[in-house]
Structure 1
Amino acid sequence: MNEVRIQTQDFDLSREMAQLRAGNAKVGAIVNFVGTVRDLNEGASVAEMELEHYPGMTEQSIQAIIDQAKQRWPIYGALVIHRVGPLEPMDQIVLVAVTSPHRGEAFSACEFIIDYLKTEAPFWKKEQTPEGARWVDARTSDDDALKKWS
């Protein structure tokens, strides 16, 4: 099973993990990453973050990342849920989950997907700080993380 969902509502990690592995007795590992909203970014307090995306293109971009991961590692399934709209500190933003026969492949595939998602998927972030609203630029550390996959 491969699934990409862009949504405003929160997700239930336990339910999503159970559905991802449901009925596949070959699954030996499930690895997931959950990203959350921090209350501090680049030295400024963050009261809210708003995420925007390019409908249709965003899902295709993320599916292409999953397809690349499936070419590199023997994974059975992958799930990416990314929230959009206004989010507050401690809210869940993104879930990346992968099933595979073994943990090594699952960890690598999950890390690969989130590294590429952070830089390649068309999302835009705007933070509300005490100084006003600001758009969040891409981080060089995210670009650096991609280099290990080349």
Structure 2
Amino acid sequence: MGADVRLLTEAFDFAAELSAFTSAHPAAGGVASFLGQVRASAHDSAVEALELRQYGPLTLPAMEDLAARTQGRWTLEGLLILHRSGEMQPGDPIVLVAAASRHRREAFAAAEFAMDHLKSESWFWKREKVAGAWRWIEPRAQDFEDIARWS
């Protein structure tokens, strides 16, 4: 089974994507998903925009490698990884990860593994606009702790 891995520059309809993914995997007994979206505030300030920059020749192959590693760890019926780049507004979807498997535990673990690695081995440079000024966002210690538990 191949994974559906896409690096997008335009908005996506997460409900339609998840519905299509679920329909494509009728043998799955469980589908686990995670949707990440632009938050409306950070550090008690209103977020006006979020920008994710990426380098296509590095980013997409790395996402595809992550999908292959995820599929190598769990028996999955399907795997979906969508990630946006570009400028986004509060409430816009950024990332959608979904895993379909015969049993729920594999779906949960695979989705969490993929998301932790997307967040911590990030091939994206992220900045947010607050009070009219842009600032770069660095990975947090928690991001590295999250990925370490999979070693």
Residue in 2 that maps onto 1:20 = 21
1:33-88 Cα shifts (integer Å, max 9, x gaps): 00011122234331111111110211111111111111111112111111111111
TM-score (norm 1): 0.92
| Partner amino acid, structure 2, of 1:2 | A
Residue in 2 that maps onto 1:123 = 124
Residue in 2 that maps onto 1:53 = 54
Q: SS where residue 113 of structure 1 aligns?
A: helix
Task: Assess if the C-alpha contact under 8 Å between 1:49 and 1:86 holds in 2.
Answer: yes
Unaligned segments of structure 2, at least 5 residues: none
Residue in 1 that maps onto 2:92 = 91
Report runs of 4+ in structure 1 exceeding 6 Å deviation.
none
Partner Cα separation in structure 1 for residue 42 and residue 33 of structure 2: 24
101-110 or 118-127: bigger deviation: 118-127
Aligned length: 150
Partner Cα separation in structure 2 for residue 36 and residue 24 of structure 1: 25
Task: Assess if the C-alpha contact under 8 Å between 2:25 and 2:78 holds in 1.
Answer: no
102-111 or 127-136: bigger deviation: 127-136
Cα distance change, pair 140–131 in 1 and its aligned pair in 2 (3 A): farther
Partner Cα separation in structure 2 for residue 129 and residue 115 of structure 1: 26
Written as runs of structure 1 = structure 2, the 5 A alignment for 1:1-150 is 1-130=2-131, 132-150=133-151
TM-score (norm 2): 0.91
100-109 or 120-129: bigger deviation: 120-129
Partner Cα separation in structure 2 for residue 128 and residue 25 of structure 1: 42
Q: SS where residue 97 of structure 1 aligns?
A: strand
Q: SS where residue 7 of structure 2 aligns?
A: strand
Deviation at 1:136, TM superposition (A): 0.6
| Partner amino acid, structure 2, of 1:99 | A
Identity score, percent: 35
Unaligned segments of structure 1, at least 5 residues: none
| Partner amino acid, structure 2, of 1:144 | E
Deviation at 1:14, TM superposition (A): 2.9
Task: Assess if the C-alpha contact under 8 Å between 2:25 and 2:100 holds in 1.
Answer: no
| Partner amino acid, structure 2, of 1:26 | A
Question: What's the Cα RMSD here?
Answer: 1.5
Task: Assess if the C-alpha contact under 8 Å between 1:61 and 1:120 holds in 2.
Answer: no
